Amino acid sequence: MSENNNKLWSKENTSTSQLVEAFTVGRDKEFDVLLAEYDVLGSLAHTEMLEKVGLLNSEDKEAIHRGLHQILDEIRAGQFAIGKDTEDVHSQVELLLTQRIGEAGKKIHSGRSRNDQVAVDIKLYLRAEIQQVKAAVRELFDLLIGLSEKYKDQLLPGYTHLQIAMPSSFGLWLGAYAESLVDDLELLAASWQVANKNPLGSGAGYGSSFPLNRSLTTELLHFGSLNYNSVYAQMSRGKTEKIVAMGLAAIAATLSKLAMDCALYINQNFGFISFPSDLTTGSSIMPHKKNPDVFELIRAKCNRIQATPNELTLLLNNLPSGYHRDLQLTKEILFPSIGELKACLQMTGLMLSNMTVREDILRDEKYRYLFSVEAVNELVNQGVPFREAYKQVGNLIEKGAFRYDYSKGLHHTHEGSIGNLCNDRIVGEMEAVVGKFV
Protein backbone atom coordinates (compact mmCIF):
# COMPACT_ATOMS: atom_id res chain seq x y z
CA MET A 1 0.00 0.00 0.00
CA SER A 2 1.18 3.55 -0.67
CA GLU A 3 0.19 6.81 0.97
CA ASN A 4 -1.87 9.15 -1.19
CA ASN A 5 0.02 12.43 -1.48
CA ASN A 6 -1.29 15.59 -3.09
CA LYS A 7 -4.85 14.44 -3.64
CA LEU A 8 -7.75 16.82 -3.13
CA TRP A 9 -9.82 14.04 -1.58
CA SER A 10 -7.14 12.48 0.65
CA LYS A 11 -7.78 12.13 4.37
CA GLU A 12 -5.68 10.96 7.29
CA ASN A 13 -5.06 7.24 7.58
CA THR A 14 -6.25 6.48 4.06
CA SER A 15 -4.27 4.88 1.27
CA THR A 16 -4.85 3.35 -2.13
CA SER A 17 -3.25 0.34 -3.74
CA GLN A 18 -0.59 1.35 -6.29
CA LEU A 19 -2.21 -1.02 -8.77
CA VAL A 20 -5.62 0.61 -8.30
CA GLU A 21 -4.08 4.07 -8.51
CA ALA A 22 -2.24 3.29 -11.75
CA PHE A 23 -5.39 1.83 -13.26
CA THR A 24 -7.69 4.67 -12.25
CA VAL A 25 -5.32 7.46 -13.26
CA GLY A 26 -4.46 5.80 -16.58
CA ARG A 27 -3.46 8.38 -19.20
CA ASP A 28 -5.32 11.19 -17.46
CA LYS A 29 -2.23 13.22 -16.54
CA GLU A 30 -1.12 13.20 -20.17
CA PHE A 31 -4.32 14.94 -21.24
CA ASP A 32 -4.70 17.02 -18.08
CA VAL A 33 -1.63 19.01 -19.12
CA LEU A 34 -3.70 20.29 -22.05
CA LEU A 35 -6.26 21.58 -19.55
CA ALA A 36 -3.77 23.35 -17.27
CA GLU A 37 -4.23 26.83 -18.73
CA TYR A 38 -8.00 26.52 -18.55
CA ASP A 39 -7.90 25.17 -15.01
CA VAL A 40 -6.08 28.33 -13.91
CA LEU A 41 -8.47 30.58 -15.85
CA GLY A 42 -11.39 28.83 -14.20
CA SER A 43 -9.82 29.31 -10.77
CA LEU A 44 -9.21 33.00 -11.46
CA ALA A 45 -12.88 33.49 -12.30
CA HIS A 46 -14.07 31.34 -9.40
CA THR A 47 -12.00 33.17 -6.81
CA GLU A 48 -13.00 36.54 -8.24
CA MET A 49 -16.59 35.47 -7.68
CA LEU A 50 -15.83 34.17 -4.16
CA GLU A 51 -14.59 37.59 -3.16
CA LYS A 52 -17.65 39.30 -4.65
CA VAL A 53 -20.03 37.11 -2.61
CA GLY A 54 -18.01 37.53 0.60
CA LEU A 55 -16.43 34.08 0.79
CA LEU A 56 -12.89 35.36 0.27
CA ASN A 57 -11.29 38.54 1.57
CA SER A 58 -9.58 40.91 -0.84
CA GLU A 59 -6.10 40.30 0.58
CA ASP A 60 -6.36 36.56 0.04
CA LYS A 61 -7.86 37.06 -3.40
CA GLU A 62 -5.02 39.31 -4.48
CA ALA A 63 -2.44 36.81 -3.26
CA ILE A 64 -4.29 33.97 -5.00
CA HIS A 65 -4.47 35.88 -8.27
CA ARG A 66 -0.78 36.80 -8.18
CA GLY A 67 0.07 33.15 -7.63
CA LEU A 68 -2.32 31.90 -10.30
CA HIS A 69 -1.02 34.37 -12.88
CA GLN A 70 2.52 33.18 -12.15
CA ILE A 71 1.43 29.59 -12.73
CA LEU A 72 -0.41 30.64 -15.89
CA ASP A 73 2.75 32.25 -17.25
CA GLU A 74 4.68 29.04 -16.56
CA ILE A 75 2.05 26.96 -18.32
CA ARG A 76 2.15 29.19 -21.41
CA ALA A 77 5.96 29.04 -21.39
CA GLY A 78 5.85 25.22 -21.37
CA GLN A 79 7.31 25.03 -17.84
CA PHE A 80 4.40 23.26 -16.15
CA ALA A 81 4.22 19.57 -15.32
CA ILE A 82 2.07 17.40 -13.09
CA GLY A 83 4.18 15.82 -10.37
CA LYS A 84 4.64 12.09 -10.07
CA ASP A 85 2.81 11.98 -6.75
CA THR A 86 0.12 14.48 -7.76
CA GLU A 87 -3.16 13.05 -8.98
CA ASP A 88 -4.30 15.57 -11.57
CA VAL A 89 -4.01 19.11 -12.92
CA HIS A 90 -6.40 20.51 -10.30
CA SER A 91 -4.29 19.09 -7.48
CA GLN A 92 -1.07 20.33 -9.08
CA VAL A 93 -2.30 23.90 -9.47
CA GLU A 94 -3.62 24.03 -5.91
CA LEU A 95 -0.43 22.45 -4.57
CA LEU A 96 1.83 24.94 -6.35
CA LEU A 97 -0.34 27.84 -5.26
CA THR A 98 -0.35 26.75 -1.61
CA GLN A 99 3.42 26.20 -1.62
CA ARG A 100 3.91 29.73 -2.90
CA ILE A 101 1.33 31.81 -1.03
CA GLY A 102 0.53 29.68 2.00
CA GLU A 103 -2.85 28.92 3.55
CA ALA A 104 -4.78 31.21 1.20
CA GLY A 105 -4.11 28.73 -1.59
CA LYS A 106 -6.26 26.17 0.20
CA LYS A 107 -9.31 28.41 -0.11
CA ILE A 108 -9.71 28.27 -3.90
CA HIS A 109 -11.81 25.10 -3.86
CA SER A 110 -14.62 26.54 -1.75
CA GLY A 111 -17.96 26.21 -3.52
CA ARG A 112 -16.86 23.82 -6.23
CA SER A 113 -16.07 20.17 -6.84
CA ARG A 114 -13.55 18.56 -9.12
CA ASN A 115 -16.63 17.55 -11.12
CA ASP A 116 -17.58 21.09 -12.14
CA GLN A 117 -13.91 22.10 -12.20
CA VAL A 118 -13.00 19.56 -14.87
CA ALA A 119 -16.26 20.23 -16.70
CA VAL A 120 -15.44 23.93 -17.07
CA ASP A 121 -11.82 23.13 -17.97
CA ILE A 122 -12.97 20.87 -20.78
CA LYS A 123 -15.49 23.39 -22.09
CA LEU A 124 -12.88 26.16 -22.10
CA TYR A 125 -10.41 23.85 -23.84
CA LEU A 126 -12.97 22.74 -26.42
CA ARG A 127 -13.99 26.33 -27.16
CA ALA A 128 -10.38 27.24 -27.89
CA GLU A 129 -9.84 24.13 -30.04
CA ILE A 130 -13.08 24.67 -31.96
CA GLN A 131 -11.95 28.18 -32.82
CA GLN A 132 -8.64 26.82 -34.11
CA VAL A 133 -10.38 24.16 -36.20
CA LYS A 134 -12.78 26.77 -37.56
CA ALA A 135 -9.87 28.98 -38.61
CA ALA A 136 -8.10 26.04 -40.29
CA VAL A 137 -11.28 25.06 -42.13
CA ARG A 138 -11.75 28.63 -43.32
CA GLU A 139 -8.17 28.72 -44.59
CA LEU A 140 -8.68 25.51 -46.56
CA PHE A 141 -12.04 26.79 -47.81
CA ASP A 142 -10.42 29.96 -49.16
CA LEU A 143 -7.77 27.87 -50.91
CA LEU A 144 -10.41 25.64 -52.51
CA ILE A 145 -12.43 28.63 -53.71
CA GLY A 146 -9.30 30.23 -55.14
CA LEU A 147 -8.33 27.05 -56.97
CA SER A 148 -11.91 26.60 -58.17
CA GLU A 149 -11.82 30.04 -59.76
CA LYS A 150 -8.35 29.48 -61.18
CA TYR A 151 -9.29 26.21 -62.89
CA LYS A 152 -12.96 26.88 -63.65
CA ASP A 153 -12.39 26.49 -67.41
CA GLN A 154 -10.30 23.31 -67.13
CA LEU A 155 -12.56 20.38 -68.04
CA LEU A 156 -12.52 17.15 -66.12
CA PRO A 157 -14.48 13.93 -66.63
CA GLY A 158 -17.26 13.37 -64.13
CA TYR A 159 -18.07 9.87 -62.89
CA THR A 160 -21.04 8.00 -61.47
CA HIS A 161 -20.60 4.39 -60.32
CA LEU A 162 -16.89 4.97 -61.22
CA GLN A 163 -18.04 4.99 -64.85
CA ILE A 164 -17.49 7.91 -67.20
CA ALA A 165 -20.60 10.07 -66.91
CA MET A 166 -20.68 13.73 -67.93
CA PRO A 167 -18.24 16.62 -68.31
CA SER A 168 -17.18 18.37 -65.15
CA SER A 169 -14.41 20.85 -64.43
CA PHE A 170 -11.69 21.32 -61.86
CA GLY A 171 -13.58 24.41 -60.79
CA LEU A 172 -16.74 22.41 -60.17
CA TRP A 173 -14.85 19.63 -58.37
CA LEU A 174 -12.87 21.88 -56.04
CA GLY A 175 -15.87 24.15 -55.40
CA ALA A 176 -17.88 21.14 -54.29
CA TYR A 177 -15.46 20.50 -51.44
CA ALA A 178 -15.48 24.17 -50.50
CA GLU A 179 -19.27 24.10 -50.14
CA SER A 180 -19.07 20.82 -48.25
CA LEU A 181 -16.94 22.57 -45.63
CA VAL A 182 -19.68 25.17 -45.20
CA ASP A 183 -22.14 22.50 -44.07
CA ASP A 184 -19.47 20.88 -41.92
CA LEU A 185 -18.93 24.16 -40.10
CA GLU A 186 -22.67 24.36 -39.47
CA LEU A 187 -22.30 21.25 -37.31
CA LEU A 188 -19.16 22.58 -35.66
CA ALA A 189 -20.95 25.87 -34.95
CA ALA A 190 -23.73 23.91 -33.24
CA SER A 191 -21.15 22.17 -31.08
CA TRP A 192 -19.63 25.57 -30.27
CA GLN A 193 -22.99 26.70 -28.89
CA VAL A 194 -23.11 23.64 -26.63
CA ALA A 195 -19.52 24.08 -25.45
CA ASN A 196 -20.15 27.78 -24.83
CA LYS A 197 -22.26 27.18 -21.69
CA ASN A 198 -20.83 27.45 -18.20
CA PRO A 199 -21.09 24.43 -15.83
CA LEU A 200 -19.00 26.03 -13.06
CA GLY A 201 -20.87 26.29 -9.77
CA SER A 202 -22.84 23.10 -10.25
CA GLY A 203 -20.47 21.38 -7.82
CA ALA A 204 -20.76 17.63 -7.76
CA GLY A 205 -24.03 17.98 -9.62
CA TYR A 206 -26.29 19.26 -6.87
CA GLY A 207 -25.24 22.87 -6.44
CA SER A 208 -23.95 24.44 -3.23
CA SER A 209 -25.22 25.99 -0.02
CA PHE A 210 -22.77 28.85 -0.62
CA PRO A 211 -24.33 31.96 -2.24
CA LEU A 212 -22.42 31.48 -5.50
CA ASN A 213 -22.88 33.92 -8.38
CA ARG A 214 -22.75 31.69 -11.43
CA SER A 215 -23.75 34.51 -13.77
CA LEU A 216 -20.58 36.36 -12.75
CA THR A 217 -18.26 33.45 -13.56
CA THR A 218 -20.12 33.05 -16.85
CA GLU A 219 -19.33 36.66 -17.67
CA LEU A 220 -15.72 36.46 -16.46
CA LEU A 221 -15.03 33.36 -18.56
CA HIS A 222 -16.83 34.83 -21.61
CA PHE A 223 -19.33 32.01 -21.87
CA GLY A 224 -22.43 32.71 -23.90
CA SER A 225 -24.74 31.23 -21.30
CA LEU A 226 -25.03 28.87 -18.32
CA ASN A 227 -25.80 25.23 -17.94
CA TYR A 228 -28.51 26.31 -15.50
CA ASN A 229 -29.66 23.06 -13.93
CA SER A 230 -26.87 21.73 -11.72
CA VAL A 231 -27.71 18.11 -12.50
CA TYR A 232 -27.73 18.79 -16.21
CA ALA A 233 -24.45 20.69 -15.93
CA GLN A 234 -22.91 17.35 -14.96
CA MET A 235 -24.93 15.45 -17.56
CA SER A 236 -23.45 17.76 -20.19
CA ARG A 237 -20.06 16.19 -19.47
CA GLY A 238 -19.49 13.62 -22.17
CA LYS A 239 -22.48 14.87 -24.13
CA THR A 240 -20.58 18.04 -24.99
CA GLU A 241 -17.56 16.03 -26.09
CA LYS A 242 -19.75 13.80 -28.24
CA ILE A 243 -21.43 16.74 -29.98
CA VAL A 244 -18.06 18.35 -30.66
CA ALA A 245 -16.85 15.02 -32.04
CA MET A 246 -19.78 15.02 -34.45
CA GLY A 247 -18.69 18.40 -35.78
CA LEU A 248 -15.12 17.16 -36.18
CA ALA A 249 -16.34 13.98 -37.87
CA ALA A 250 -18.24 15.97 -40.49
CA ILE A 251 -15.10 17.86 -41.47
CA ALA A 252 -13.11 14.64 -41.44
CA ALA A 253 -15.60 13.02 -43.82
CA THR A 254 -15.09 15.82 -46.35
CA LEU A 255 -11.30 15.59 -46.08
CA SER A 256 -11.39 11.80 -46.42
CA LYS A 257 -13.46 11.97 -49.60
CA LEU A 258 -11.22 14.67 -51.07
CA ALA A 259 -8.15 12.63 -50.20
CA MET A 260 -9.67 9.60 -51.96
CA ASP A 261 -10.33 11.68 -55.08
CA CYS A 262 -6.76 12.94 -55.10
CA ALA A 263 -5.30 9.47 -54.57
CA LEU A 264 -7.42 8.29 -57.51
CA TYR A 265 -6.71 11.24 -59.78
CA ILE A 266 -2.93 10.98 -59.33
CA ASN A 267 -3.11 7.37 -60.54
CA GLN A 268 -1.55 6.93 -63.99
CA ASN A 269 -4.80 5.53 -65.39
CA PHE A 270 -6.41 8.88 -64.60
CA GLY A 271 -3.48 11.27 -64.54
CA PHE A 272 -5.60 14.34 -63.85
CA ILE A 273 -3.33 15.90 -61.23
CA SER A 274 0.27 15.63 -60.06
CA PHE A 275 2.42 16.78 -57.16
CA PRO A 276 6.11 17.56 -56.68
CA SER A 277 8.33 14.59 -55.88
CA ASP A 278 9.09 15.89 -52.39
CA LEU A 279 5.39 15.64 -51.49
CA THR A 280 5.07 12.02 -52.62
CA THR A 281 6.96 8.88 -51.66
CA GLY A 282 8.75 6.19 -53.60
CA SER A 283 9.02 2.44 -53.61
CA SER A 284 11.89 0.34 -52.29
CA ILE A 285 11.96 -1.72 -55.50
CA MET A 286 10.01 0.25 -58.15
CA PRO A 287 11.93 3.39 -59.13
CA HIS A 288 9.00 4.88 -61.09
CA LYS A 289 6.62 5.11 -58.13
CA LYS A 290 5.23 8.40 -56.77
CA ASN A 291 2.86 7.28 -54.06
CA PRO A 292 0.16 9.56 -52.60
CA ASP A 293 1.00 8.57 -49.01
CA VAL A 294 -0.06 11.93 -47.58
CA PHE A 295 -3.55 11.57 -49.02
CA GLU A 296 -3.77 7.93 -47.97
CA LEU A 297 -2.91 8.86 -44.39
CA ILE A 298 -5.35 11.78 -44.44
CA ARG A 299 -8.00 9.33 -45.58
CA ALA A 300 -7.10 6.83 -42.84
CA LYS A 301 -6.80 9.37 -40.05
CA CYS A 302 -10.05 11.09 -41.01
CA ASN A 303 -11.86 7.76 -41.13
CA ARG A 304 -10.67 7.11 -37.58
CA ILE A 305 -11.86 10.56 -36.52
CA GLN A 306 -15.30 9.69 -37.89
CA ALA A 307 -15.37 6.80 -35.41
CA THR A 308 -14.90 9.15 -32.44
CA PRO A 309 -18.60 10.01 -31.90
CA ASN A 310 -19.45 6.31 -31.92
CA GLU A 311 -16.67 5.53 -29.45
CA LEU A 312 -18.00 8.24 -27.14
CA THR A 313 -21.54 6.89 -27.58
CA LEU A 314 -20.41 3.45 -26.44
CA LEU A 315 -18.65 5.01 -23.46
CA LEU A 316 -21.64 7.11 -22.40
CA ASN A 317 -24.55 4.78 -23.14
CA ASN A 318 -26.57 3.61 -20.14
CA LEU A 319 -24.87 5.91 -17.64
CA PRO A 320 -27.41 7.28 -15.16
CA SER A 321 -27.37 10.95 -14.13
CA GLY A 322 -24.56 12.12 -11.90
CA TYR A 323 -20.81 11.88 -12.29
CA HIS A 324 -19.11 8.56 -13.07
CA ARG A 325 -15.40 7.83 -13.51
CA ASP A 326 -16.16 6.52 -17.01
CA LEU A 327 -16.22 10.18 -18.09
CA GLN A 328 -12.49 10.48 -17.47
CA LEU A 329 -11.93 8.53 -20.68
CA THR A 330 -13.61 11.14 -22.90
CA LYS A 331 -10.33 13.06 -22.93
CA GLU A 332 -8.23 10.26 -24.38
CA ILE A 333 -10.90 9.57 -27.00
CA LEU A 334 -11.55 13.13 -28.16
CA PHE A 335 -8.41 15.18 -27.56
CA PRO A 336 -6.13 13.22 -29.96
CA SER A 337 -8.81 13.44 -32.66
CA ILE A 338 -8.71 17.22 -32.49
CA GLY A 339 -4.96 17.25 -33.03
CA GLU A 340 -5.20 14.76 -35.88
CA LEU A 341 -7.89 16.78 -37.64
CA LYS A 342 -5.88 19.98 -37.43
CA ALA A 343 -2.87 18.16 -38.91
CA CYS A 344 -5.01 16.74 -41.73
CA LEU A 345 -6.39 20.20 -42.54
CA GLN A 346 -2.86 21.57 -42.68
CA MET A 347 -1.55 18.77 -44.90
CA THR A 348 -4.53 18.96 -47.26
CA GLY A 349 -3.81 22.63 -47.75
CA LEU A 350 -0.11 21.97 -48.34
CA MET A 351 -0.83 19.35 -50.99
CA LEU A 352 -3.49 21.34 -52.85
CA SER A 353 -1.28 24.44 -52.86
CA ASN A 354 1.29 22.44 -54.82
CA MET A 355 -1.09 20.59 -57.15
CA THR A 356 -0.56 20.69 -60.91
CA VAL A 357 -3.64 20.25 -63.09
CA ARG A 358 -3.38 18.46 -66.43
CA GLU A 359 -4.78 20.25 -69.44
CA ASP A 360 -6.72 18.77 -72.38
CA ILE A 361 -7.71 15.65 -70.45
CA LEU A 362 -10.85 15.13 -72.50
CA ARG A 363 -9.00 14.78 -75.81
CA ASP A 364 -8.36 11.17 -74.85
CA GLU A 365 -10.51 8.81 -76.94
CA LYS A 366 -11.89 7.02 -73.89
CA TYR A 367 -13.82 10.16 -72.95
CA ARG A 368 -15.70 10.29 -76.26
CA TYR A 369 -19.03 9.31 -74.71
CA LEU A 370 -18.71 11.89 -71.94
CA PHE A 371 -20.67 14.26 -74.16
CA SER A 372 -23.59 11.97 -74.96
CA VAL A 373 -25.97 14.00 -72.76
CA GLU A 374 -24.79 17.20 -74.46
CA ALA A 375 -25.74 15.66 -77.81
CA VAL A 376 -29.14 14.54 -76.52
CA ASN A 377 -29.86 18.00 -75.13
CA GLU A 378 -28.91 19.67 -78.41
CA LEU A 379 -31.44 17.51 -80.24
CA VAL A 380 -34.08 18.39 -77.64
CA ASN A 381 -33.31 22.08 -78.17
CA GLN A 382 -33.99 21.47 -81.86
CA GLY A 383 -37.48 20.15 -81.06
CA VAL A 384 -36.79 16.39 -80.90
CA PRO A 385 -38.66 14.72 -77.99
CA PHE A 386 -36.25 13.70 -75.23
CA ARG A 387 -36.89 9.95 -75.51
CA GLU A 388 -36.39 10.06 -79.28
CA ALA A 389 -33.22 12.10 -78.92
CA TYR A 390 -31.95 9.66 -76.29
CA LYS A 391 -32.63 6.76 -78.67
CA GLN A 392 -30.86 8.43 -81.61
CA VAL A 393 -27.72 9.15 -79.62
CA GLY A 394 -27.83 5.68 -78.05
CA ASN A 395 -27.94 4.06 -81.49
CA LEU A 396 -24.90 6.06 -82.61
CA ILE A 397 -23.04 4.90 -79.50
CA GLU A 398 -23.96 1.26 -80.14
CA LYS A 399 -22.63 1.54 -83.71
CA GLY A 400 -19.43 3.20 -82.55
CA ALA A 401 -20.33 6.23 -84.67
CA PHE A 402 -20.86 8.81 -81.92
CA ARG A 403 -18.71 11.95 -82.13
CA TYR A 404 -19.09 15.30 -80.43
CA ASP A 405 -17.04 18.43 -80.94
CA TYR A 406 -16.80 20.05 -77.52
CA SER A 407 -14.28 22.64 -78.73
CA LYS A 408 -17.19 24.92 -79.55
CA GLY A 409 -17.82 25.15 -75.82
CA LEU A 410 -20.33 23.86 -73.31
CA HIS A 411 -23.38 25.91 -72.41
CA HIS A 412 -24.15 25.20 -68.77
CA THR A 413 -25.75 28.26 -67.22
CA HIS A 414 -27.86 27.24 -64.24
CA GLU A 415 -26.72 27.90 -60.67
CA GLY A 416 -23.97 25.54 -59.62
CA SER A 417 -23.15 24.25 -63.08
CA ILE A 418 -19.82 24.30 -64.95
CA GLY A 419 -20.55 27.71 -66.41
CA ASN A 420 -22.02 29.24 -63.24
CA LEU A 421 -20.16 27.97 -60.19
CA CYS A 422 -21.78 30.45 -57.79
CA ASN A 423 -18.59 30.60 -55.77
CA ASP A 424 -19.51 34.07 -54.58
CA ARG A 425 -22.73 32.66 -53.11
CA ILE A 426 -20.79 29.85 -51.44
CA VAL A 427 -18.39 32.38 -49.92
CA GLY A 428 -21.41 34.26 -48.57
CA GLU A 429 -22.69 31.08 -46.97
CA MET A 430 -19.31 30.53 -45.33
CA GLU A 431 -19.25 34.08 -43.99
CA ALA A 432 -22.65 33.51 -42.40
CA VAL A 433 -21.55 30.29 -40.72
CA VAL A 434 -18.29 31.77 -39.42
CA GLY A 435 -20.35 34.53 -37.82
CA LYS A 436 -21.99 31.94 -35.55
CA PHE A 437 -18.77 31.27 -33.61
CA VAL A 438 -19.28 34.12 -31.13
Active site residues: 161, 283
**With contact defined as beta carbons under 8 Å apart, do 358 and 274 qualify?**
yes
Interacting residues of 2 by C-beta distance below 8 A, sequence separation 6+: 15, 16, 17, 18, 21
Residue 330, classified by CB atoms within 10 Å of its CB into exposed (0-12), middle (13-18) or buried (19+), is: buried
Pairing of strands 197-198, 163-169: unpaired
Nearest Cα to 189, choosing from 20, 15, 433?
A: 433
Give the DSSP letter string of 319-361: --SS--GGGGGHHHHHHHHHHHHHHHHHHHHHHHHT-EEPS-G
Pairing of strands 197-198, 2-3: unpaired
Q: Is 273 helix (H, G, I), strand (E, B) or coil?
A: strand
Cα separation, 134 vs 247, whole angstroms: 10
Outline where DSSP puts E strands in 265-323.
Answer: 273-274
Nearest Cα to 105, choosing from 216, 8, 172, 249?
A: 8
